[in-house]
Amino acid sequence: MTEPAITPELVAKHNLTPEEYAHAVEILGRTPSYTELGIFSVMWSEHCSYKNTKPLLKTFPTQSPKILVGAGEENAGIIDIGDGIAIAFKIESHNHPSAVEPFQGATTGVGGIVRDIFTMGARPVCAVNSLRFGPICSGGLRPPTDGEERRSQSAATEAEEEAQLKNNRRLFAGVVSGIAHYGNCFGIPTVAGEVYFDKTYQGNPLVNAFCLGVLRHDQITRGAAKGVGNPVFYVGPATGRDGLAGAAFASQDLTEESAEQQRGAVQVGDPFMEKLVCEACLELLATGCVAGMQDMGAAGLTCSTCEMAARAGTGIEIELDKVPQRAPNMSSYEIMLSESQERMLIVVHKGREEEVKRIFDKWDLPWSEIGIITDTGHMKVRHGGKLVVDIPARKIADESPVYQRDAVEPAYLKDVQAFRLNGIADTTTPAEDLKKLLAWPSIASKNWVYRQYDHQVRDGSVVLPGSDAAVIRIKTDSLPVMSAELAAKVGDPTVSEKLIAMTVDCNGGYVYLDPYEGAKIAVAEACRNLACSGALPLGATDNLNMPSPLKPELFWQIKESVRGLAEGCKAFNAPVTGGNCSLYNQSPAGPIDPTPTISVVGLIEKREHVTTQWFKDEGDAILLLGDAVESTPLQGLGGSAYLQVVHGQKNGSPPRCDLEVAKTLHTTLIGLIQSGLVKSAHDCSEGGLAVALAESCISQLIARETPRLIGATVDLSSVAAVCDRRENSLDANGGHRPPLQVRLDALLFGETQSRIVISCKPLDAVKVVERAKLMGVPAVQIGHVGGTTLTVKTATGEFSAPLTELHDAWWNSIARAMA
């Protein structure tokens, strides 16, 4: 095929700046070929190179004695969990592909992260996801209006809103279906996740997929092309034109025009094929014949070849005529940049080629010996007898351009910080407001989502979706098959059961209103969820879903978010083991709220320490750990769900997050759990204390969809008195400020941080309160479990709501919106 001439216009279409192109020419010492231009484009995209975020990522804590493979070393991080066993885990995004083709975008997002795990030599044992969409029901696109004003709106506006809602529902349904399809067919339980709905994601949904796998220390596999003279094998299905230059597509703004142009950049997944590839690769690894292995994910064959060579300091030569191809007459550009799924690149010890062929033939999988490892340090590609690519591997893999972007605080934050509750009427209908919050899709039960997932396959799930954190057990059959040498070394293959907890969190609205505090809150809440399950953090993986780094105001959001994540992970001893940067998440309607999703994994010492969020028995005492209300002017209502749902405002500084206070709370709760004093624990987050209490009453299932409702009577009339912790307690005239008057809505629905609702035996309540206070944690008994209602007494009155009504609003909200 005749290749196009390299012109400035063609360079620009490949998303390379003139300076970047000049650097590529300098590296090569000549004008690149068309295929080489494509390779530079994908390898120097943000998705592959992190050229705008690399300096920020270096600020993350990444070290601990338990880390076996750290951030940036390989396809996923690996952490020791004791007894020679380790876990590999990572989270990645598939945002733009899911916006264009929601089903295939989501399926291939799951498939890609699963490959990242078994590429490390680990057997994938569970999946988690974090999703964001535009509103799926009316009222979510604008503040509430009275009936007369709503009737006066034009028919065109109503029709436009309904079209937007319909599209949001289409994207939501397609993504969930895609996740379910891939995970269920592959045979991996999807055990946890989160879903938010907000107009900021309307033109750019977020789809983040997490996977965790298990292996022995001696089974860790590296993605390095070691051993000069070793053969290179391509294994898995044939290469097609799907997914062409997907990494580059993910590194540009999403518009209708770019989406239509890049529809071919969305890959097509086959979970049954991936299952075969996974089992074949794990079996092959057990033979000891593999010198290095990597999946062909972002940038396809390009990324796997140059990165593997760069890691080993070697060169690699491949022959494209030997690459299995689905379409006739594919060009070298298409073969190298295709992101067709379920493909692996494996470097095999010379002389052991027949073992590769035998195993992949057994699994009825395509394979081809396509190349060899050299000592040149170059990635060389031949096609049709011609040398079409000759690039220094390390230059393109490790020496991409790195930018120090300008960061300027956005002007909108002045209004956010100046926001006060003046003019915001206090609640007079707390029971109705509680039902509205429970029915808000971002708070409502996500059973419509997770009931589509198989969350029990492989019989390792201990705590299913619906509690603060998922818990799985690691058992002997969770591990990959051992080689003969390892089996002889290990002896008895059985392992003592390990309990792993995991969660994923981020409130993008908080981060928009204060990127630093919002990111800290994301880490603190994730670790609080683990503490409520009985787990101590081991490590974290993050997904920076962010807008364009090219605008200083938006880059400031990115920079401050990373600062908050880094401080949070450091405070909780949860080093970052890897993750993903997904920038340019913005549509013509504007940028998304910055959403630095964080997934934290923890270890539970004993089975009896596993704790869930729902109340257990009639008569149990209910206690609140932590301050009831934040002693700031907004009293924890800034950025709250209550302000958004009841008053139509996403405004105000979010609650403050004191990491030392949070850490002390978590340590205290873990100690109480390990002492056998806690029967349930649930963190207070979106919707505040009232929502946490309601969820503790209505969230337990005794069968797949049969709830167990158990009521509570709570007295908050004496817990609203909070000390004034403002830094300056003097007014402008030098006199002492009067104490804060706690609002009822702040007490019930404020989102003050570092609070947990627990229950215990009645006789243990005094002991729990005393122990908590000894640790410096505020604690008070606020009620008892029992009855068929949630009844709450405050200093101004009392309200009661039947559990059947609360459960109906919470459980069925999303299903009704999607009907």
Catalytic residues: 47, 94
Which residue type is seen at 150? R
Contact between 465 and 446 under an 8 Å Cβ cutoff? The reply is: yes
Crossing angle of the two packed helices 515-533 and 659-674, in degrees rounded to 10:
10
Q: Residue 732 contacts by C-beta under 8 Å, 6 or more apart in sequence?
A: none
The token pair at 445 is: 């039960």
Centre a 10 Å sphere on the Cβ of residue 730 and count the other Cβ atoms it contains: 10
Please answer whether residues 807 and 789 qualify as being in contact, where contact means their C-beta atoms are separated by less than 8 angstroms. no
3 state SS of 422: coil
CA angle 471–476–477, rounded 5-degree value: 90
How far is Cα 442 from Cα 454, in angstroms, rounded to an integer? 22
Residue 325 neighbours by CB under 8 Å, 6+ apart: 238, 239, 240, 335
What are the structure tokens assigned to 712, written together? 């509570």
Give the rounded distance of the alpha carbon of 209 from its chain centre. 6
d(CA 339, CA 47) in angstroms, rounded, equals 14
Token digits of residue 319 = 């022959």
**Residues facing 696 on adjacent strands:** none
**Any alpha helices (H) in 491-617, and if so which ranges?**
508-513, 515-533, 552-571
Task: Give CA–CA dist 629/695, Å, rounded.
Answer: 19
Give me 500's structure tokens. 């792993």
Residue with tokens 């990165």: 307
Please report, for residues 449, 470, 502, 809, the alpha-carbon distance to residue 113 in angstroms, rounded to integers and kept in the order given: 20, 19, 16, 35
Compute the distance between CA of residue 419 and CA of residue 640 in angstroms, rounded to an integer: 13
Report d(CA 352, CA 356) in Å as an integer: 7
Query: In the structure encoding, which two tokens stand for residue 379, read together?
Result: 């990635």
Neighbouring C-beta atoms of residue 746, cutoff 10 Å: 28
